[in-house]
């Protein structure tokens, strides 16, 4: 099948790339644009490792075709830190020792960032459900909860 | 060796220091195998068997080979090194003549694009003659069952050696002429039959734990490339690059120094990435295409044809006196290994018979093959399954006799010096300490109030349960070097794959042993061409063994540094110390030299000063068992069987918490894997051996929404041989939860469940089956 042109905004930059019509957004980001932060953990939308934001909404990029992102704004984990300054969520994840193997972390951070954008002061239960679409096998989620709670305080306190 | 004393406080052992690669991990910059994209990359796919057992009559690859973009199509006939009687799963690169489990690779394709490789698979035709399959291990171990392995295939015991370092003598007690019993063992002491006759309470139950998947989020992946000199480089997701190198060399008939294994970031392993799996076939595809080839398993392939933990069935019978005195234990363990041998039979026997002091026991073990995916290690292999049986049993005995469950356990729990079932003495351990500590927790002391607080709407039954379990501690020879750099900083080199954050802990050990702050230490995981030989990241032995290598190498480097300084300062070696980046003479404040100047002189043209290079490559034999106790506070909906975890506590003896932050992470993560095994996880197969839940929607792992925070309590009973007294940390926390939850369910509802997972369906049906009068008050 002939490739088609995908024009969209990725991490605040306009991009133009040729993609096959069957290619997922995840594969286009990883294979065509070199953004390998989003991971494929299952390819069926069950694990959340491929989570990105499309027009500010949390999306499993393995379930979306790349061409569905035409004209839209995509943000990946690579776009979460601004000018090498870590996002408060990223800073808290590092300081509280959340990452172990690290494979789920980009997806969890994107889910948490989407949660805090909608709900700057979530309850514990809201955080738990906010990242319930993200499987992690190393951490048991406890330190993640601590880090998101701390970062939520920082984000909310700063605004 | 004695616990190393540092002369002054350096920033090192004992501090919660975040791992230095954290920023790379949270920004998506760390590189896993699937993130590599070299020029000329080809993508591999495997055609897998749809049948659990079938003869391959004919394979036609001609149409696949003709598809544009396909660079190679291989079958077993193309790889002459392959042996028909494959001794391990790794050797069964592609099926020869016969397939023995659903998902077994039959043909391999390399193509320009993944989509082309997938299309090529559809163009390969395989004619199968379907054969009867053995899918139930209890039937498979009977005479006349369809045979899994080719006659004469040897059992693989290397996994057991890697993990437990516990040997048992083989002794056959199973049915004669059983073709699918790969290994058997028996350990016995005293007269168990006489013991049962003299017992006041004889309890017999059969416990079942299904196959479960390790669940690492990064599927198996490898990138292979041959260079023009015939050298193979593998970028691997592995728990042990030297082991990967050995297995690939053996399977493909290569010299080990022809292969370079570069360990990439490993997205979780938990035992499932010790043994080679897809590395040999990917290397072959690269060899024939002369191109780099990348293979990444899909999640479905992982679940259908990974290397899960075995199903374990334990029939356990105990005899005790009315006052709780232990008399006799009789057990029969069946470990279902799938299509290839490799289970750790000895571990199960040791924990069944050695956790508590049984005067008489008879324990038989059988490793049984079936037409299912073959198994591998999963974090403390076979220990959670075995502890589920013995700790469920101990709880029932205590309840039946009206004894306090903690006091009953404490009375009989082993201590240092007590013999294990194989006669070896238990090494120093904190079993009693973790049990006593967990019993002080408010969840336990206030369990009666918790139980009373439930039942308000007639459905919510509240209960509390605990269990204790242990791991013997792994061993493996290993090596490390510590160099002093020209600026006074240290470089530590090992081959240890860092998955969970062990490198920062090793760096802390180097800092404390040498005498500099952690910010002066950098640690590197080298590949197999540059690193000293290093063992697996498995068996809870990275800190315990590599930690010793790093500690001794740092002490060696310190000694060399002080010897150089002693000459320069004209002082006795014994009067020197390292402080703030300087070697100082004690009590003479103005006589000192800097580490930087010593480091520089070791790297100066025409210098006579030797460069400081600390080396250690220990192989030691003393194990350090690690014990954990876990405590669950739960509520069960008596109508639906839904179980809510209101609190969960892990108490663990870690010897010495080198980095408490990392230790807590291990305890929490292990506990949640253990809870997954307890509550939701099972690979389920139909009666012809097909997996019925091959996705993460249907293979249900626990999410953040299913769980409370996991509370961690660190206990430190120093080990005699570990660095700074440390013990292994990874394994113990995955062990007790299934028993703790089952015990809590009994406390809450009165029902005793003996088969995992403890699903709402099983709980509700068991409650419904209770005689009306026997229900909880």
**pLDDT tens by residue, B388-412:** 999 999 999 999 999 999 999 999 9
- How many helices (H) and strands (E) are present in chain B, helices listed first? 21, 26
CA distance B26 to A93: 7
The ipTM (two decimal places) reads: 0.97
Neighbour-count burial of B133, counting CB atoms closer than 10 A to its CB (0-12 exposed, 13-18 middle, 19+ buried): buried
Q: Give A104's DSSP letter.
A: S
Q: Which of B167, B170, B180, B145 has its CA nearest to residue B364?
A: B170
Please state the rounded mean pLDDT for residues B575-591. 94
Q: Do A137 and B25 touch (CB under 8 A)?
A: no
- Has residue B510 been placed in a domain? yes
Mean pLDDT value of segment B590-597: 96
Residues with Cβ within 8 Å of residue B81, at least 6 apart in sequence: B251, B252, B253
Indicate the residue among B365, B383, B412 that finishes a domain: B412
Would you call B38 an interface residue with chain A, using a CB distance cutoff of 8 Å? no
CA distance A45 to chain B (A): 9
C-beta atoms of B26 and A86 within 8 A? yes
Residues 483-512 of B with CB under 8 A from A: 499-501
From the list A100, A105, A131, the residue facing B500 with the nearest CB is A100
Whichever domain contains B60, its CATH number is 3.90.1170.50
Q: Is the pLDDT of residue A159 over 60?
A: no
pLDDT at residue B454 tops 50: yes
Would you say residue B161 has pLDDT above 60?
Answer: no
- CB spacing of A47 vs B299 below 8 angstroms: yes
Would you call A144 and B115 a contact, using CB atoms and an 8 Å cutoff? no
Q: Which of B212, B704, B706, B734 to mutate to test the interface with A (most CBs of A within 10 A)?
A: B704
Inter-chain residue contact B705 with A129, CB threshold 8 Å: yes
Looking at CA atoms only, how far is residue B444 from chain A in angstroms?
21
Strands (E), B132-273: 181-189, 201-209, 221-226, 232-236, 259-263
Residues of chain A contacting residue B19, judged by C-beta atoms under 8 Å apart: 97, 99
Mind telling me how many Å the CA of A98 is from chain B's nearest CA?
Answer: 8
A31 vs B270: CB contact, 8 Å cut-off? no
Region for A62 from its dihedrals, namely left if φ exceeds 0, alpha if ψ lies in -120 to 50, beta otherwise? alpha
Q: Which of B385, B412, B439 is the last residue of a domain?
A: B412
Q: For chain A, say whether B332 makes contact (Cβ under 8 Å).
A: no
Tell me the residues of chain A between 73 and 112 that have a Cβ less than 8 Å away from chain B: 76-78, 80-81, 86, 90, 93-106, 109
Q: Give residue A157's pLDDT.
A: 42
Question: How far does the CA of residue B698 sit from the closest CA of chain A (Å)?
Answer: 9
pLDDT value at residue B160: 54
* C-alpha–C-alpha distance, residues A12 and A73, integer Å: 8
- Domain shared by B113 and B178, yes or no: no
Residue B528 placed within a domain = yes
Over the stretch B640-657, which tens digit does the pLDDT of each residue have?
999 999 999 999 999 999
Q: Based on the domain organization, do B205 and B293 belong to the same domain?
A: no
Domain span holding position B194 = 132-216+308-412
Residue B24, pLDDT score: 97
Indicate if the pLDDT at residue B176 is higher than 90: no
pTM recorded for the entire structure: 0.96
- Asked whether residue B775 carries a pLDDT value surpassing 50, the answer given is no
Measured between CB atoms, does B696 come within 8 Å of chain A?
yes
Chain position carrying tokens 């996991």: B710
Mean pLDDT over residues B201-220, rounded?
A: 98
Confidence of residue B168 (pLDDT cuts 50, 70, 90): low
* Res B7: pLDDT: 43
Give residue B455's pLDDT.
73
Residues from chain B contacting residue A77 (CB–CB below 8 Å) = 26-28
| B447: in domain | no
Q: Does A132 touch chain B (CB under 8 A)?
A: yes
**Burial status of residue B7 (CB atoms within 10 A of its CB: 0-12, 13-18, 19 or more):** exposed
Asked whether residue B499 falls in the same domain as residue B520, the answer is: yes
Scored b (16 or more CB within 10 A) or e, A30-64 reads bbbbebbbbbbbbbbbbbbbbbbbbeeebbbbbeb
Residue B115 pLDDT more than 60?
A: yes
Query: Which tokens sit at A149?
Result: 């709670």
Share of chain B above pLDDT 90, in %: 91
CB B73 within 8 A of CB B124: yes
- Which residue blocks in B192-240 are alpha helix, DSSP H? 192-197
pLDDT the model gives residue B6: 46
Summarize pLDDT for B515-536 with one digit per residue, the tens: 999 999 999 999 999 999 999 9
First to last CA, chain A: 49
- Answer yes or no: is B760 within a domain: no
Whole-number pLDDT of residue B456: 65
In a domain, B433, yes or no: no
**Nearest Cβ partner of B18 from A81, A97, A136?**
A97
Closest-CA residue to A81 (of B775, B25, B190): B25
> For B720-734, what is each residue's pLDDT tens digit?
999 999 999 999 999
CATH number at residue B399: 3.30.365.10
Distance from CA of A71 to the nearest CA of B (A): 24
CB of B41 within 8 Å of any CB in chain A? no
B616 pLDDT more than 60 = yes
| Residues B575 and B586 both lie in one domain | yes
Give the span between the Cα atoms of A64 and B723, in whole angstroms.
Answer: 50
Number of compact structural domains in chain B: 3
Inter-chain contact B265–A101, Cβ cutoff 8 Å? yes
For residue B179, cis peptide bond before it (omega within 30 degrees of 0): no
Identify the pLDDT of residue A101. Answer: 98
First to last CA, chain B: 56
Q: How confident is the model at residue A155 (pLDDT cuts 50, 70, 90)?
A: low
Question: Best mutation site among B27, B675, B705, B711 for testing chain A: the one with the most A CBs within 10 Å?
Answer: B27
Nearest C-alpha neighbor of B209 from the set B334, B75, B78? B334
Whether residues B193 and B45 share a domain: the answer is no
Last residue of a domain, one of B572, B597, B616: B616
Of the listed ranges A128-132, B450-454, B485-489, the one predicted with least confidence? B450-454
CA nearest to B379 within chain A: A138
Q: Which residues of A touch B216 (CB under 8 A)?
A: 101, 103, 137
Task: Identify whether residues B174 and B206 lie together within a single domain.
Answer: yes
Contacts of B12 (CB under 8 A, 6+ apart): B6, B508, B509, B510, B511, B512, B513, B517, B518
> Which alpha helices (H) appear in B632-777, and where do they start and end?
660-679, 737-749, 760-768
* Residues of B in Cβ contact (< 8 Å) with A53: none
User: pLDDT per residue over A10-52, tens digit each?
Assistant: 999 999 999 999 999 999 999 999 999 999 999 999 999 999 9
Segment B301-329 mean pLDDT: 98
Residue B157 — very low, low, confident or very high, per pLDDT cuts 50/70/90?
low
| Pair of tokens at residue B380 | 């403390």
Nearest to B30 among A46, A102, A140 (CB): A102
Does one domain contain both B507 and B605?
Answer: yes
With contact defined as beta carbons under 8 Å apart, do B663 and B679 qualify?
Answer: no
**Band of residue B167 on the pLDDT scale cut at 50, 70, 90:** low
B488 and B567 fall within a common domain: yes
Instruction: Please say if the pLDDT value at position B153 is more than 90.
Output: no
A–B: how many Cβ contacts below 8 A? 180
Residues B496 and B555 in one domain: yes
CB contact B162 to A (< 8 Å): no
Rounded to the nearest integer, the mean pLDDT of chain B is 94
CA distance A59 to chain B (A): 17
Q: Is the distance from CB of B271 to CB of B377 less than 8 angstroms?
A: yes
C-alpha B281/C-alpha B108 separation (Å) is 8
Contact A39 B26 (CB under 8 A): no
**B137 pLDDT tier (thresholds 50, 70, 90):** very high
> Band of the pLDDT at B342, cuts 50, 70, 90?
confident
Secondary structure (3-state) at B532: coil
User: Which of B170, B63, B60, B172 has the alpha carbon at shortest distance from B106?
Assistant: B60
Ramachandran category for residue A97: left, alpha or beta (phi over 0 → left; psi -120 to 50 → alpha): left
The pLDDT of residue B777 is 42
- Asked if residue B666 belongs to a domain, the reply is no
DSSP H/E element including B568: helix B547-569
pLDDT confidence tier of residue B2, bands split at 50, 70 and 90: very low
B257 plus B179 within the same structural domain: no
Tokens of B83: 């042996």
Q: What is the pLDDT of residue B733?
A: 98
In the predicted model, is pLDDT for residue B776 greater than 70?
A: no
CA-based nearest distance B729→chain A, Å:
13
Domains in chain A, please, with CATH? Answer: 4-79 (3.10.20.30), 88-158 (1.10.150.120)
B216–A contact, CB cutoff 8 A: yes
Q: Which among B26, B270, B672 has the least Cβ separation from residue A105? A: B26
pLDDT, tens only, B456-473:
667 899 999 999 999 999
B293 and B352 both lie in a single domain: no
Chain B neighbors of A106, CB-CB under 8 A: 26, 28
pLDDT category at B4 given cuts 50, 70, 90 is: very low
User: Of the candidates B662, B57, B611, B742, which has an alpha carbon nearest to the alpha carbon of residue A99?
Assistant: B662
Same domain? For B400 and B547 the reply is no
Which residues of chain A neighbour B665 with C-beta distances below 8 Å?
A: 97-98, 100, 138-140, 143
Tell me whether residue B223 is in a domain: yes
Taking the CA of residue B321 and the nearest CA in chain A, the distance in Å comes to: 41
Q: Per the domain annotation, does B461 fall within a domain?
A: no
Quick one: closest CA in A to B18, which residue?
A97
Q: Flag if B703 and A135 touch (Cβ within 8 Å).
A: yes
Of B510, B529, B528, nearest to B518 (Cα)?
A: B510
Q: Which of residues 641-680 of B touch A (CB under 8 A)?
A: 661-662, 664-665, 668-673
Nearest Cα neighbor of A21 from A5, A10, A32 is A5
Q: What is the pLDDT of residue B1?
A: 35
> Do the beta carbons of residue A43 and residue A106 sit within 8 Å?
no
């Amino acid at each position: 099948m002939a490739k088609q042109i995908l024009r969209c905004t990725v991490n605040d930059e306009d991009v133009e790339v040729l993609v096959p019509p069957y290619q997922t957004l995840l594969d286009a980001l990883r294979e065509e644009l070199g953004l390998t932060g989003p991971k494929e953990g299952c390819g069926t939308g069950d694990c959340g490792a491929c989570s990105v934001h499309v027009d500010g909404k949390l999306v499993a990029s393995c379930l979306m075709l790349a061409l569905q992102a035409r004209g839209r704004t995509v943000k990946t984990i690579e776009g979460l830190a601004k000018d090498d300054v870590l996002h408060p969520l990223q800073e808290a994840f590092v300081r509280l020792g959340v990452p172990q193997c690290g494979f789920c972390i980009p997806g969890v951070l994107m889910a948490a960032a989407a949660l805090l954008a909608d709900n700057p002061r979530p309850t514990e239960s809201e955080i738990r459900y906010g990242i319930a679409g993200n499987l992690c096998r190393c951490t048991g989620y406890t330190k993640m909860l601590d880090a998101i709670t701390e970062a939520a305080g920082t984000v909310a306190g700063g605004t | 060796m004695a616990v190393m004393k540092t002369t002054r406080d350096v920033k090192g052992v004992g501090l919660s220091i975040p791992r230095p690669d954290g920023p790379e991990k949270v920004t998506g910059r760390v590189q896993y195998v699937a993130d590599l994209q070299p020029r000329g990359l080809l993508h591999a796919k495997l055609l897998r068997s749809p049948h659990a057992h079938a003869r391959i009559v004919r394979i036609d690859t001609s149409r696949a080979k003709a598809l544009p973009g396909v660079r190679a199509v291989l079958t077993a006939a193309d790889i002459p090194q392959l042996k028909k009687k494959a001794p391990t799963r790794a050797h069964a690169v592609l099926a020869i003549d016969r397939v023995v489990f659903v998902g077994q690779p039959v043909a391999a394709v390399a193509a320009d694009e993944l989509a082309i490789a997938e299309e090529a698979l559809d163009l390969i035709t395989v004619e199968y003659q379907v054969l009867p399959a053995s899918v139930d291990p209890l039937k498979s171990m009977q005479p006349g069952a369809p045979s899994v392995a080719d006659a004469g295939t040897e059992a693989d015991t290397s996994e057991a050696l890697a993990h437990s370092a516990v040997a048992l003598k083989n002794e056959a007690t199973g049915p004669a002429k059983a073709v699918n019993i790969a290994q058997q063992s028996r350990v016995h002491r005293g007269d168990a039959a006489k013991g049962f006759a003299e017992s006041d309470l004889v309890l017999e139950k059969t416990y079942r734990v299904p196959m479960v998947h390790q669940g690492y989020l990064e599927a198996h992946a490898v990138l292979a490339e041959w260079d023009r000199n015939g050298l193979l480089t593998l970028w691997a997701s592995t728990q042990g690059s030297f082991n990967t190198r050995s297995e690939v060399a053996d399977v493909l008939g290569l010299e080990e120094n022809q292969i370079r294994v570069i360990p990439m970031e490993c997205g979780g392993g938990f035992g499932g990435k010790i043994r080679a799996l897809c590395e040999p076939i990917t290397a072959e595809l690269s060899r024939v295409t002369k191109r780099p080839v990348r293979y990444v398993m899909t999640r479905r392939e992982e679940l259908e044809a990974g290397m899960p933990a075995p199903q374990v069935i334990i029939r356990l019978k105990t005899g005790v006196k009315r006052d709780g005195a232990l008399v006799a234990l009789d057990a029969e363990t069946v470990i279902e290994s799938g299509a290839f041998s490799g289970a750790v039979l000895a571990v199960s026997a040791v924990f069944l018979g050695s956790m508590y002091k049984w005067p008489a026991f008879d324990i038989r073990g059988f490793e049984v093959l079936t037409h299912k995916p073959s198994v591998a290690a999963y974090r403390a292999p076979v220990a959670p399954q075995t502890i589920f049986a013995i700790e469920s049993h101990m709880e029932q005995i205590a309840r039946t006799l009206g004894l306090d469950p903690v006091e009953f356990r404490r009375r009989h729990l082993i201590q240092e010096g007590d013999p294990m079932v194989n006669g070896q003495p238990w090494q120093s351990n904190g079993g009693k300490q973790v049990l006593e500590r967990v019993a002080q927790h408010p969840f336990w002391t206030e369990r009666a109030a918790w139980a009373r607080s439930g039942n308000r709407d007639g459905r919510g039954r509240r209960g509390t349960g605990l269990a204790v379990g242990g791991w013997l501690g792994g061993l493996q020879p290993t090596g490390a070097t510590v160099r002093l750099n020209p600026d006074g900083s240290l470089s530590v080199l090992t081959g240890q794959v860092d998955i969970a954050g062990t490198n920062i802990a090793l760096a802390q050990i180097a800092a404390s042993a040498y005498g500099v702050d952690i910010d002066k230490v950098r640690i590197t995981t080298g590949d197999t061409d540059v690193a000293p030989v290093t063992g697996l990241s498995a068996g809870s032995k990275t800190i315990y063994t590599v930690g010793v290598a790093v500690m001794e190498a740092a002490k060696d480097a310190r000694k060399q540094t002080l010897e150089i300084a002693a000459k320069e300062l004209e002082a006795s070696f014994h009067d020197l110390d390292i402080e703030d980046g300087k070697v100082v003479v004690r009590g003479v404040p103005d006589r000192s030299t800097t580490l930087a100047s010593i480091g520089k002189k070791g790297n100066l043209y025409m210098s006579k000063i030797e460069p400081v290079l600390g080396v250690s490559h220990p192989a030691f034999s003393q194990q350090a068992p690690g014990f954990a106790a876990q405590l669950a506070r739960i509520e069960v909906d008596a109508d639906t069987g839904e179980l809510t975890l209101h609190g969960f506590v892990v108490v663990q003896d870690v010897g010495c918490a080198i980095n408490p932050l990392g230790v807590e992470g291990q305890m929490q993560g292990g506990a949640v894997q253990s809870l997954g095994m307890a509550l939701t996880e099972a690979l389920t197969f139909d009666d012809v051996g097909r997996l019925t839940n091959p996705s993460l929607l249907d293979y249900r792992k626990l999410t953040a929404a299913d769980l409370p925070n996991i509370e961690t309590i660190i206990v430190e009973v120093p080990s005699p041989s570990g660095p700074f007294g440390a013990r292994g940390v990874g394994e113990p926390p995955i062990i007790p939860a299934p028993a703790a939850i089952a015990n809590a369910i009994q406390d809450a509802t009165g029902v005793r469940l003996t088969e995992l997972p403890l699903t709402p369906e099983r709980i509700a049906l068991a409650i419904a089956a209770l005689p009306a009068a026997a229900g909880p008050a």
